[in-house]
Amino acid sequence: MAKVVAVCLSKERGVSKKPVSQGLLKENYGFEGDAHAGSSRQVSLLAIESINKMLSALESINPARMRDQGIQINPGDSAENLVTEGVDLLSLSLGTRICIGEEVILKVTQIGKAFHRPGFFLLPLEGVFASVIRGGVVKPGDGLRV
């Protein structure tokens, strides 16, 4: 079953988001208390499969360095709001609706984005952006369907 793995928020732009126990999505706005709410990219989604693929690639290049330096990619590190599991986000087309739990409905508005600052972030390459059609509370473990 597809689901939400993590909900991540940040009050400031340009920094990693931090996992929270739940978030409130407001219609045509985004997550209450998140710096990107109200923008053209109200909600950002990144698949845990993309995170794991990147970790595997890094591990295959230099496993000793990964272990020695404790390199990891945590939910929110790429400034994503939602980490999902079980949905191939990059296969979705614009306008696709994503239902979360019993009430939330998102609409895909953008696939990926241009890099805007130095460093490496998965969201521009593997992320999906959506607007909020119907709001509600979202928490880790909530079911997700397309």
Tell me which DSSP letter residue 112 carries: -
Beta-carbon neighbour count of residue 25 at 10 Å?
28
What predicted TM-score, i.e. pTM, was given to this entire model? 0.85
Which residues are CB-neighbours of 138 under 8 A, at least 6 positions away?
4, 7, 22, 23, 24, 25, 82, 100, 101, 104
Task: Please report where in the chains the tokens 């969201």 appear, as a residue.
Answer: 123
Q: Which domain holds residue 25?
A: 3-145
Q: Is 102 helix (H, G, I), strand (E, B) or coil?
A: coil
Domain count, the chain: 1
**What does the pLDDT look like over 64-109, one tens digit per residue?**
665 666 666 777 777 789 999 999 998 999 999 999 999 999 999 9
CATH code for position 16: 2.40.33.20
**CA–CA separation, 125 vs 112, rounded Å?**
5
